[in-house]
Amino acid sequence: MTDLVVHPCEKPLRGSVPVPSDKSIAHRALLLGALCNGKSRIRQWAGGEDNESTRGALEAMGVAFVRDAHDMIVTGVGLFGLCAPAVALDCGNSGTTMRLLTGILAAQPFESTLIGDASLSTRPMMRVAGPLRARGARIDGAPDAARKNEITAPLRVHALPEGTYLKGIEYELPVASAQVKSALLLSGLYAHAPTTLREPTLSRDHTERMLAALGVPLRTLASMVELDPAGWSGSMPAFDIALPGDISAAAFLLGAALLVPGSSVVVRAVGTNPTRTGVLDALRDMNAPLVVEPRGDENGEPIADVAIAASETTLSGASVTAERAIDEIPALCAIAACARGTTTVRDAKELRVKESDRIAAMVTVLRAFGVECEPRDDGMIVSGKAGAPLKPATVDSLGDHRIAMSAAIMALAARGGPSRITHADCIATSFPKFVGTLRALGAAIDVIP
């Protein structure tokens, strides 16, 4: 295990840096590249642990991958070319890997088992298994003793009987979820009738954009999407995609710049898909000196340089919703710690079932740094300490990469000594070069085995 010792910043953070490529888009590029015909190239490959879990699972089913400098080349096997795995498919810590793969495996003529680490093995899977069962899939999981009618990993996905196919489905998601929506759309590639999905609000739409670019018959209208395979050949061509920077990773660098007075930081080539930019809206509401410079599109995904310009502006509390910003809430809570007034986080109950209970975890972290906060069932209220320093703290990441990075950026604004974040290896899940990037901006961080 590795700990981080983060020293208070004695001078502003300054510089222009990249972030890892968007892991949400990378997951989908790997999965669809595997189902295409021919060799697809995924550029700006970051290689975080979550994406490596997806790659490893596909490799176990006969898909070939070659690393070429900063690119990943996928040799697709076609929609019906996956092979039965000889071992259980290890999804590591990645809920995206497990849920999206389940959608694909539900239509296969072979049996498979999906496993994960201790954290992933506690996360709810009925939200995917239920609608997939409704369209004819046969999926079993471990009963969850703490939650009625819930299952967790390991998931066992049984083979479809010979001569049968997944049925069409019209399904209204109770909660907006890109993972559930994507699993059902991927299963819809194999169905013999339409897949029609509706969400209460539009979740991230990377899957829809990529499928449409590959010629899959897809129709979208607001938060409704329909995949109708009638007349479709069932074939997808190989592709070449440049992955944009991950806005979820960028949030921590922008947060560090806001917490250290006088900082001026540019994060280059960040994906600014409108279904993902809730964090930028929240920062504007908090009076952050934010500058977004558009840099065009890559494969239908908008990209921009995002900067925090040095300013004497005082951050203010705001009402923050998890809509379009669920993964960025921990970073926003860390930023709220140094704002004037209170910040209310709401509609974020989904944080209770992430890699950790992120509401409870962030309350613990904030209090450790001397910040008053009150947990709510679906969020929290943070009383900012504008003008008063945070106190140094020792906090446990609980194996959650976003909790670890949130604590690290708060430590930069502490006074009175260094802070320690224990069990920080998990940061490699999404941002392997997090420490190096902060050091390049001027932060002092020690890595302690």
DSSP structure string for 179-206: HHHHHHHHHHTT-SS-EEEE-SS----H
- Bridge partners, 17 (sequence order): 267
Amino acid 359 reads I
Active-site residue (options: 22, 246, 327, 400):
327
Omega within 30 of 0 (cis) for the link into 154:
yes
Question: Which residue, chain included where needed, has tokens 């962030």?
Answer: 362
CA–CA distance from 165 to each of 34, 138, 159, 170, 305 (Å)? 21, 12, 11, 16, 45
What the block records as the tokens of 182 is: 């994507």
Q: CA–CA separation, 217 vs 228, rounded Å?
A: 6
| Contact present, 282 and 33 (Cβ < 8 Å) | no
Sign of CA dihedral 2, 245, 37, 190: positive
Q: CA–CA separation, 58 vs 70, rounded Å?
A: 20
Q: CA–CA separation, 298 vs 44, rounded Å?
A: 12
Q: CA–CA separation, 157 vs 140, rounded Å?
A: 7
**Closest alpha carbon to 316 in 380, 225, 387, 244:** 387
Residue 327 designated active-site = yes
Region of residue 234 (left: phi > 0; alpha: psi -120 to 50; beta: else): left
Amino acid 244 reads P
Q: How many residues does the chain have?
A: 449
Question: Which residue, chain included where needed, has tokens 């000889």?
Answer: 86
399 three-class SS: coil
**Closest alpha carbon to 55 in 79, 33, 87:** 33
Catalytic residues: 327
